[in-house]
Amino acid sequence: MSASSSNRNFIGRQGSPTGRTLLMSPAMVAAAAITGAVADVREIFDEHDSRLQEAADLRRGIPLPGNDIDTDRIIPAALPEGSDLPDHGRARLRGREEAEPRASVQLSGVQGASVLVVGQNFGCGSRASTRRKALMRWGIAAIVGGSYGEISSATA
């Protein structure tokens, strides 16, 4: 019986014609290795240990309320397409003075967050690649939301 972080669990794989394979994350494989059996890696770390969050693949999310957040609000509009981002790498959402003025939202203040939770039609507008770079610079690894602007979903 093997504990494996691969994606190969065919009958007879992993080194033995009668071999059986249990697929799991690398952290879980290491936990199984030192235990000798399938184990819960979360029990190996003290609950206050910061590594527990990573071992359990927990991510902190930032809610970003509102729909139709376009790319000009996500990146400083002053930056032309393709230019490098400021050193602080922070994406700021600016309110726009329109019929519906929206308060600007700062993404700072949520330490260690890597998942952005958004509403409908997120990332609409133009300059999607700069939007992506801005969010990645900030440390966003994933976006979860209701729907995405077409230009953003194509260049995700």
Partner 1 sequence: MQRDRAHGDVGINPGMSVGVSQRIPAVESAAEPIGPRSARRSPHMSFQAGQPIKGAKIDVAFVGSCTNGRLSDLRIAAEVAKKGKVAKGVRALIVPGSQQVEKAAEAEGLHEIFKAAGFEWRKAGCSMCLA
Q: Which helix (DSSP H) or strand (DSSP E) does residue 62 occupy?
A: strand 60-64
Q: Minimal distance in Å, beta carbon 52 to partner 1?
A: 9
Please tell me whether residue 14 binds partner 1 under the rule CB under 8 A. yes
Q: What is the dihedral of CA 46, 143, 26, 39, to 10 degrees?
A: 50
Answer whether 40's CB lies under 8 Å from 95's CB.
Answer: no
Please tell me whether residue 120 binds partner 1 under the rule CB under 8 A. no
Answer whether 115's CB lies under 8 Å from 62's CB.
Answer: yes
Find the binding residues for partner 1 in span 49-108 (CB under 8 A).
51, 54-55
Instruction: Single out the segment in contact with partner 1 by CB under 8 A; choices: 35-43, 76-84, 92-100, 126-134.
Output: 35-43
Please tell me whether residue 112 binds partner 1 under the rule CB under 8 A. no
| Polymer length of the chain | 156
Please tell me whether residue 140 binds partner 1 under the rule CB under 8 A. no
How far lies 150's CA from each of 63, 123, 129, 139, in Å? 21, 8, 13, 23
Instruction: Please select the residue that binds partner 1; options are 13, 59, 90, 102, rule is CB under 8 A.
Output: 13
3-class secondary structure, 93:
strand
Please tell me whether residue 143 binds partner 1 under the rule CB under 8 A. no
Please give the residue ranges that form the binding site for partner 1 (CB under 8 A).
Answer: 1-15, 17, 19-20, 22-23, 25-41, 44-45, 51, 54-55
